[in-house]
Structure formats: structure tokens, C-alpha cells
Amino acid sequence: MMIGEYFTWAAGLAKSSPFTYAVVNVGTMVVLGVAIGLIADGIFRLLRVDLGSYKKEFEDESAVIKQ
């Protein structure tokens, strides 16, 4: 129930101190974004997906189309 407690605390904070709530809200989004990005990066590394190869393939195809 930690998430429920967080939202209860955040709702109280929004009423008492809107600016602090905004800072906490943006900070929470940044932390979650970084965490999700790192998890996604870890999954790509575990699956050995090379996004660079897709870029090279796309560039090769676009060069053929332009000619």
C-alpha cells in the first residue's frame, strides 16, 4: 500500500503547498522515466538487440531509393 500512501500524501501536499507538489511531481516523473529507461536498456542488452543495425539497414535502403 505504499503507492496509496504516496498519493494521499501528494494530495495533501497539493492543497498545502502547490509549488512543492509541482517539484515533487516533476521529480517523480524524472525518476520513473530514468528507471524505465534503464530497465528497457537492460532488456535490450539481455536480448542482444542492436538498434544500430536497424539504423544501418534503413540508411542502406534509403540510399537505394534515392538513386
* 17 phi, psi to nearest 5 deg: -145, 85
Sign of CA dihedral 34, 39, 40, 46: positive
* Cα separation, 31 vs 5, whole angstroms: 18
What confidence tens digit (pLDDT) does each residue in 18-59 have?
999 999 999 999 999 999 999 999 998 899 887 766 666 666
DSSP output for 11-35 = HHHHHH-HHHHHHHHHHHHHHHHHH
Q: Burial of 21 by CB count in 10 Å (0-12 exposed, 13-18 middle, 19+ buried)?
A: middle
**Predicted pLDDT at 49:** 80
**Predicted pLDDT at 67:** 54
Q: What is the pTM of this model?
A: 0.62
